[in-house]
């Protein structure tokens, strides 16, 4: 079970991803979390830097979908202006929403990476689906909700166990 909580790659921000390396691995699609992965939880819209990065992704040929546990209002306000498809109310790590995101991308799991800031939602769900998982350091921990803060405590314990294993 603990191996399902280990990401294939870790980066400080999405901007550290070497997109050409992902492409060479056969990755053609990106399923990305929203809050604390692309922007902070209190940032309603994409930053200019993020808009440029998303444009670069698409110019390279990557398909992108936002997959968030957040509600429709939050996710659509962010994704609609960017013309990026999205899945809200995902209930990650449940795999149904990951299946839906793959269907939107029209890709196979081995052709898809998932980017996210949480082991217990993004990494676990992605690994259960056979996706290439990338753990991104959270952008703003102080803005997280109660359940995410609880997850962070559990994540610390998991990291301790994995170091001693």
- In this model, does residue 165 exceed pLDDT 50? no
Residue 110's Cβ-side half-sphere holds a number of Cα atoms within 13 Å equal to 2
Average pLDDT over residues 106-132: 96
User: Where are the strands (E) in the chain, listed by range?
Assistant: 9-11, 29-32, 63-67, 86-87, 112-116, 132-136
Question: Tell me, what's the pLDDT at 157?
Answer: 62
> How many structural domains is the chain composed of?
1
Could you tell me if 79 and 66 are in contact, meaning their C-beta atoms sit under 8 angstroms apart? yes
**Average pLDDT score over the chain:** 90
Average pLDDT over residues 82-101: 97
Range of the domain at 142: 2-164
Question: Tell me, what's the pLDDT at 140?
Answer: 74
Give pLDDT tens digits for 55-65: 999 999 999 99
- In this model, does residue 69 exceed pLDDT 90? yes
CATH of the domain at 89: 3.40.50.1000
């Amino acid at each position: 079970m603990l191996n399902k909580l280990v990401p294939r790659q870790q980066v400080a921000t999405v901007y550290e991803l070497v997109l050409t390396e992902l492409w060479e691995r056969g990755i053609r699609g990106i399923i990305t979390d929203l809050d604390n992965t692309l922007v902070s939880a209190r940032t309603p819209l994409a930053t200019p830097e993020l808009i440029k990065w998303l444009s670069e992704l698409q110019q390279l040929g990557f398909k992108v979908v936002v997959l968030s546990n957040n509600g429709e209002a939050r996710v659509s306000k962010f994704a609609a202006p960017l013309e990026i498809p999205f899945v809200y109310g995902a209930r990650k790590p449940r795999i149904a929403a990951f299946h839906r995101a793959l269907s939107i991308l029209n890709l196979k799991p081995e052709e898809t990476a998932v980017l996210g800031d949480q082991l217990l939602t993004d990494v676990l769900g992605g690994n259960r689906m056979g996706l290439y998982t990338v753990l991104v350091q959270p952008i703003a921990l102080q803005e997280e909700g109660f359940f995410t803060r609880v997850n962070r405590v559990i994540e610390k314990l998991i990291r301790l166990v994995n170091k001693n294993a």
